[in-house]
Chains A and B, each alone.
Chain A
Amino acid sequence: MEQVYFDHAATTPPRPEVIAAVCASLQERWGNPSSLHATGVRALEAVERAREHVAAVIGAQADEMVFTGSGTEADNHALVGASLAAEGRGNHLITSAIEHHAIEQTAEFLGRRGLRITYLPVDCHGLVDPGAVRDAITDHTVLVSIMQANNEVGTLQSIGEIGIICRERGVLFHTDAVQTFGHVRIDVREMHLDLLSLSAHKLYGPKGVGALFVRKGVKLEPYLHGGGQELGRRASTENVPGIVGLGEAARLVRLEMNQEAEQVGALRDRLVRGVLASIADARLTGHPTQRLPNNASFCLRGTDGHALVVALDAEGFAVSSGSACTSGWTRPSHVLLAMGLAPEEAKGSLRVSLGRSNTREEVDRFLQVLPGVVARVREISSAGVR
């Protein structure tokens, strides 16, 4: 039985058009884009075309996009690059308590090297209060980094409001848009963004490629050294097939984003209604309306996220949990704890993230299977088996 894939927040299946573009690139555009001869220029053309497609999705200019090896690298580059560029002028970074580890652990790294880090709290829906950003900014603040949407609970932050505050105070503003790029509308000008991270593989593109938007005029120290690629902003021979795949995914999504969000959102709403109606003590986590169209995340009291994922896998469904299983112990997600959930409740987290190829029939089958799975997991959990 083919598995039903409900884990699009983790990664997405590459689209056939993307696979074709990547393969064509490997066959026909294999030159080194830095080479001056025609073979190199053919590869460079492919990279620059992809850059235009990616930039167009977020309202940026092509020159403002730096290709990276991942969304995580883009996050690291934004935080480390901005901090280094501001040395002697500032030493304070503001972020939130619910960021992806790519931001959280990079901030911790910088904190160990002398930067002062402020982690802003969130409310019970996972929202950062823009007023708290305003209050936290000091004369020494270098950068504010707040994710556009949380990867576990899907809550969309008020990025535009935070952007205005940062711009007024002359502080750089970065957002991790790995979950939102191509899924919700982004306009870097309207949102007053200086830096934005994105990734290809959350948008039906290949793994191993992402990009960082760097607004024209923003000074960032390079993160990788050893070559003049990306106009000196990121050394390393370009991952041409990966970049082409990202570009193709971006080109396609510009044509389809609104329709896809509507279609996936309707399925998600059906799933949420079904879960809340059929599972006792189930709670939707994240904001009820201000959330990613594909995200349905729950806490199912008396269960264990890891056990739910394993049991649903056996039933033919790929889902995930915010909780992490470490050495046999289930560790509740830092996101859910920051939202005020008790560790016992947070332990039973379940994330269902839908995609463009999911169907109503798949959702209905999931809703049929879930009550039995939850009952079994609750039985095991109450028996004290981890």
Chain B
Amino acid sequence: MTTLRTPALTMDLRGTPCPLNWVKTKLRLEEMAPGAWLEVVVDDGNPARNVPRSAEGEGHRIVVITVTPEGVRVLIEKV
């Protein structure tokens, strides 16, 4: 079981279209230290599929994805 710790940063990317939401996520990840956690909140649908897929494609780890009525929270660990 994964023990959730507080992400270093949360970005609200609801309303930000693909692939801009992933690009903004990527730029933040580049500034973070390896092992740090970034939480992004994206819209359900394509953003909720594409952002985690792109993050994994670059080697980052998806810690957890939580679907809430306000949006989908994606917790990413930087490699």
> Do A49 and B19 have beta carbons less than 8 Å apart?
no
Contacts of B24 in A (CB 8 A): 48, 62
Contacts of B36 in A (CB 8 A): none
Check A52 for interface membership: any CB of B closer than 8 A: yes
Check A36 for interface membership: any CB of B closer than 8 A: yes
How many Å lie between the Cα of A40 and that of B17 in the bound state? 14
Interface residues in B22-49 by Cβ distance below 8 A to A read: 22-24, 26-27
Check A45 for interface membership: any CB of B closer than 8 A: yes
Closest residue of A by beta carbon distance from B50: A36
CB contact between B20 and one of A44, A49, A52 (< 8 Å): that residue: A44
> Do A44 and B18 have beta carbons less than 8 Å apart?
no
> Do B19 and A36 have beta carbons less than 8 Å apart?
yes
Closest residue of A by beta carbon distance from B57: A38
Closest residue of A by beta carbon distance from B15: A231
Contacts of B20 in A (CB 8 A): 44, 48
How many Å lie between the Cα of A49 and that of B22 in the bound state? 13
How many Å lie between the Cα of A186 and that of B27 in the bound state? 24
> Do B19 and A48 have beta carbons less than 8 Å apart?
no
How far, in Å, is B77 (CB) from chain A's closest CB? Answer: 21
How many Å lie between the Cα of A41 and that of B18 in the bound state? 10
Closest residue of B by beta carbon distance from A46: B23
Taken residue by residue from 12 to 45, chain A's Cβ proximity to chain B (1 for < 8 Å, 0 otherwise) reads as: 0000000000000000000000001000110011
Contacts of A41 in B (CB 8 A): 19, 22-23
How many Å lie between the Cα of A36 and that of B26 in the bound state? 15
Taken residue by residue from 48 to 68, chain A's Cβ proximity to chain B (1 for < 8 Å, 0 otherwise) reads as: 110010000000001000000
> Do A48 and B27 have beta carbons less than 8 Å apart?
yes
> Do A44 and B23 have beta carbons less than 8 Å apart?
yes
How far, in Å, is B60 (CB) from chain A's closest CB? Answer: 15
> Do A48 and B18 have beta carbons less than 8 Å apart?
no
Contacts of B26 in A (CB 8 A): 45
How many Å lie between the Cα of A174 and that of B27 in the bound state? 30
> Do B27 and A36 have beta carbons less than 8 Å apart?
no
> Do B18 and A45 have beta carbons less than 8 Å apart?
no
Closest residue of B by beta carbon distance from A37: B19
Closest residue of B by beta carbon distance from A44: B23
How far, in Å, is A247 (CB) from chain B's closest CB? Answer: 12
How many Å lie between the Cα of A62 and that of B23 in the bound state? 13
How many Å lie between the Cα of A257 and that of B19 in the bound state? 34
Closest residue of A by beta carbon distance from B18: A36
How many Å lie between the Cα of A49 and that of B26 in the bound state? 10
Taken residue by residue from 223 to 247, chain A's Cβ proximity to chain B (1 for < 8 Å, 0 otherwise) reads as: 0000000000000000000000000
Interface residues in A81-109 by Cβ distance below 8 A to B read: none
Contacts of B22 in A (CB 8 A): 41
Contacts of A49 in B (CB 8 A): 27
Interface residues in A263-307 by Cβ distance below 8 A to B read: none
How far, in Å, is A38 (CB) from chain B's closest CB? Answer: 9
Contacts of B18 in A (CB 8 A): 36
Contacts of B19 in A (CB 8 A): 36, 40-41, 44
Contacts of A36 in B (CB 8 A): 18-19
How many Å lie between the Cα of A62 and that of B31 in the bound state? 15
How many Å lie between the Cα of A45 and that of B22 in the bound state? 9
> Do A52 and B27 have beta carbons less than 8 Å apart?
yes
How far, in Å, is A36 (CB) from chain B's closest CB? Answer: 6
Closest residue of B by beta carbon distance from A41: B19
How far, in Å, is B38 (CB) from chain A's closest CB? Answer: 15
Closest residue of B by beta carbon distance from A45: B23
How many Å lie between the Cα of A36 and that of B22 in the bound state? 11
How many Å lie between the Cα of A52 and that of B24 in the bound state? 10
Chain A CB within 10 Å, residue with most, of B20, B22, B26: B20
Contacts of A52 in B (CB 8 A): 27
Known: A41-B22, A44-B20, A62-B24. 9 other contacts (CB 8 A): A36-B19, A41-B19, A41-B23, A44-B23, A45-B23, A48-B23, A48-B24, A49-B27, A52-B27
A selection of 18 A-B contacts at a CB cut-off of 8 Å is A36-B18, A36-B19, A40-B19, A41-B19, A41-B22, A41-B23, A44-B19, A44-B20, A44-B23, A45-B23, A45-B26, A45-B27, A48-B20, A48-B23, A48-B24, A48-B27, A52-B27, A62-B24
Closest 7 CB pairs of A and B: A48-B23, A41-B19, A44-B23, A45-B23, A49-B27, A48-B27, A36-B19
